[in-house]
Chain A
Amino acid sequence: MATKSKRRLSNTTTTAPNLSAPSANCKLHSTAIIADKAQLTGAHGIEIGEGTFVHPYARIDAEFGRVVIGRGCIVSEKAVVGSRVSRGVDGGEDEGVVVIGDGVGIEAGASVAAIRVGEHCMIEVNARVGAGAVLGRWCRVGACCVVAEGEVLEDFTVVFGDGRRRIDAVAKGREDVRDARAKAREMEIEVLRTLVADGSMRWRGG
């Protein structure tokens, strides 16, 4: 990681103005668990929030822009978070930046390159979220479904089947259902904590 940040200094300092100092490149919360075999690459810096869990072989790719993952998220095996496209919504200012909200689940093999994923979204197995997409809160992208580049999904959207969309009226209308789902995510993280050892010392600069 150290060699990579040196490379970043040489060629990308101008394109990452939101980074104040190179030492603040990786901000990993002390309670976040990042498995030893997870891959955190890229020079733009990665921010991982409280209690977030990154599985082995998950890849977080900050090659083209900063990746921010919120609190209580799960990134599963072979999932890829990060945009490979250096293109932003307003032409350069936030190019390649990926911001994931709190309590988001990213399942195995999914790839997420969205600019913003709202809190408590669920991105299922092998789903693809294209670069520049914006997902609202409580969205769900079904298994193997595709959200196109630059697409904007409003809150509570469910993407399923052959690209069908619907609004999850139950989650929208009932707080207890939403709470139950958020709680399920928390319980999943609790279990995972007992199963996978934390290997995040590699990236904490220790």
Chain B
Amino acid sequence: MAIQYPFTSYACPCSDLTSPPPSTVNRRTSFHPSAIQLDEDQTFNPHSPRANHALYPLDHLLYCDECDALRCPRCWTEEVLYWYCPMCLFEVPSSAVKGDGNRCSRSCYTCPSCTSQLAVTQITGRKEDGDATADRDTYILQCPYCDWSSLEIDLQFDRPTKITEQISRLRKARTTAEQEKAAPDAKPLLHEDAFANLTTFYKEQLSDTTDPQNPYSNSPYSSPANLARIMSLYGGLPYNALKKSKEKPQPMREALQPSEGLRTYTDADSDANIIQQMQTLGWDRTTSAHQRNSAPTNDDARFTDQLWPAAAPLCTRRGKRCKACRQFLTRPEGKVGSMKYRIRLLAVNHIPRLSIRPFLPQQQTTGAPTTNPAFHLRAEELPTPELLQPYQTKQYILTVRNPLFESVHISLATPATTPGKVASRVTILCPTFTVGPAGELWDDALASTSNSSTTSGDGGRSAAMASLTGSMAESSMADRQPEAGKIWTKTRNSTSVVMEIVPGSVGVGTTRIVSGAEEHDDTGGAGEDEDVLEVPVYVRAEWEVEVKLGESTGKRKFDADPGAPLRKELGYWVVLSVGRIAS
């Protein structure tokens, strides 16, 4: 889906475009030398080639309330909380994951042909089979999507439970039978056997090289753990390091024989034979790379009739930690299948949100359908994006919405001309104002019904709709003109101001509508997306938090007297992408 202008994105402070540049930046060639100035004086350039890595939609960001800063995917670390099987939703302990691998060891299998989940299906035994096995039911794995079934590799189970056990038993029986059939000298080593041989070989090697013999077998220092503890008590190098420094590492040799896990080329299946089979069976019956990688049992499968069902790979549930203070930013509940979070510090709930929409006079909006793209269901219904005409002043309404429970004093700062090759002039008519506190949802409803006569002509539903869709339904607004220094509209927790933008011209890169703007190295015409009008805005929010007695903890104990309000301040760059400029 195409991008719908206008939209806003937020710069994470972890980027060196927004923070004071460390000394290493000077050596990077991609960083423009003239852009290196001191922190807040430096304007965030949305057209910088690295700006894309710093800008995120607000919904993608988290907020660390210990560091009081935005956190983007680059400044949090992920931590696996638990493993679980996506099919049976059973949690797998991490010890089992380390031991048995990252696959479900219960009865969860995926179809080797189409990767959907296999179901255990019963087959009723048939009378004509004869005597003993006559009425016994057998079970197969069946794919409900593509009709693959384990009968295709002639696999039937006696019981509907413990499928993994039965599969491994059947596979072992079949492979050993195959091996016995093959000539003894050209006996191919099976994948599982080779792996088992190789692990035992390497374990032997490791134990041989690391533990020659223990010289202190009789002393109380016999155990390495004891010795290490004593060594660390008296300082000096730890036991292991000391041992390593004394010993010359012995070279480890590699596996040399099949009994040690060496697997070499065998012409058990001659090439000519395979090629002939491929000719007869065709492309559809040869396995794809994805199918071969689906499970270790399918590594050597060349044709689809050699594929075995693949055990379901496990999934992880992860928490996110702040890289700076190691605090959890998000932490899901420790229950499989639960979508709830125990901790979730979303940036949406912690920093004031900016949004921008074109300022439309009253006469244009009456009767017209809503222009907000969020209200359109189909892509074809979306209005075609209007191109901005160069040198034509357009007005926009910039709305700041406050998610905090305190009223926030906002200062907006923007460069007079936008950085980048196309210089547009930007004026915010009222750069400093206050935004009211957020409250419960029903607060808003109560407020709008109680003083509906004062705020707007019709309270409740239509006013809410008007604020949602962006159409100014208030009749009193009909002939109002935006004024400098005055806010445009104000609701309980949002304030709108008017912004004037004069787009620059795309074609002439060197021509600037404001003299004295700093010259960049203009190489040729506009690059990719240089015609997008992007306005960097530095938002500075200040508010006061009531610190109650007994609640002040940690560092806050020192910078605030108990009872006195604590002043908080937050500054961040926001980029308003207004639209494309016509060339």
Contact = CB atoms under 8 A, between A and B. Distances in A.
B304 A166 contact: yes
Interface stretch (B65-73, B141-149, B365-373, B404-412): B141-149
B149 A160 contact: no
A124 to B, nearest CB: 8
Contacts of B151: 170, 174, 177
B114 A176 contact: no
A158 B146 contact: yes
A161 B151 CA distance: 21
Interface in B105-163: 113-114, 123-124, 126, 145-147, 149, 151-152
A180 B113 CA distance: 22
In the complex, the 3 A-B pairs of residues with the closest C-beta atoms, listed nearest first: A160-B146, A170-B151, A168-B147
Contacts of B152: 169-170
A192 interface: no
A116 B157 CA distance: 38
Contacts of A180: 123-124
21 contacts: A140-B146, A140-B147, A142-B146, A158-B146, A160-B114, A161-B114, A161-B146, A164-B114, A164-B284, A166-B113, A166-B146, A166-B284, A166-B285, A169-B152, A170-B147, A170-B149, A170-B151, A171-B147, A174-B151, A176-B123, A180-B124
Interface residues of B, number: 15
Nearest to B128: A176
A31 B342 CA distance: 58
Main secondary structure on A side of the interface with B: mixed
Nearest to A174: B151
A143 interface: yes
B40 interface: no
Interface residues of A, number: 17
A138 to B, nearest CB: 9
A169 B152 CA distance: 7
Nearest to B154: A170
A204 interface: no
B141 to A, nearest CB: 12
A176 B146 contact: no
A182 to B, nearest CB: 14
B75 to A, nearest CB: 38
Interface in B301-320: 304-305
Contacts of A4: none
Most buried by A among B114, B146, B285, B305: B146
A180 B137 CA distance: 13
Interface string A178-201: 001000000000000000000000
A165 B284 contact: yes
B145 A143 contact: yes
A142 B147 CA distance: 9
Nearest to B122: A180
A9 to B, nearest CB: 41
Nearest to B129: A176
Contacts of A174: 151
Interface of A: 140, 142-143, 158, 160-161, 164-166, 168-171, 174, 176-177, 180
A174 B126 CA distance: 12
Contacts of A168: 147
Contacts of B124: 180
A134 to B, nearest CB: 20
B414 to A, nearest CB: 48
B187 to A, nearest CB: 29
Nearest to A160: B146
Nearest to A165: B284
A140 B123 CA distance: 20
Contacts of B113: 160, 166
Contacts of A176: 123, 126
Contacts of B147: 140, 158, 168, 170-171
Nearest to B285: A166
A142 B151 CA distance: 20
Nearest to A179: B126
Interface string B290-306: 00000000000000110
Contacts of B304: 166
Contacts of A177: 123, 149, 151
A182 B269 CA distance: 40
B344 to A, nearest CB: 35
Nearest to B304: A166
Nearest to B150: A170
Nearest to A122: B147
B100 to A, nearest CB: 30
B125 to A, nearest CB: 9
Contacts of B305: 169
A166 B146 CA distance: 9
Nearest to B113: A166
Contacts of A171: 147
A165 B285 CA distance: 10
Nearest to B288: A164
Contacts of B123: 176-177, 180
A177 B145 CA distance: 16
A169 B114 CA distance: 15
B145 A142 contact: yes
A160 B284 contact: no
B130 to A, nearest CB: 14
A164 B147 CA distance: 13
Contacts of A164: 114, 284
A176 B149 CA distance: 14
B224 to A, nearest CB: 56
Given A166-B284, A177-B123, 10 more contacts: A140-B147, A158-B146, A160-B113, A160-B114, A165-B284, A166-B146, A170-B147, A170-B152, A171-B147, A180-B123
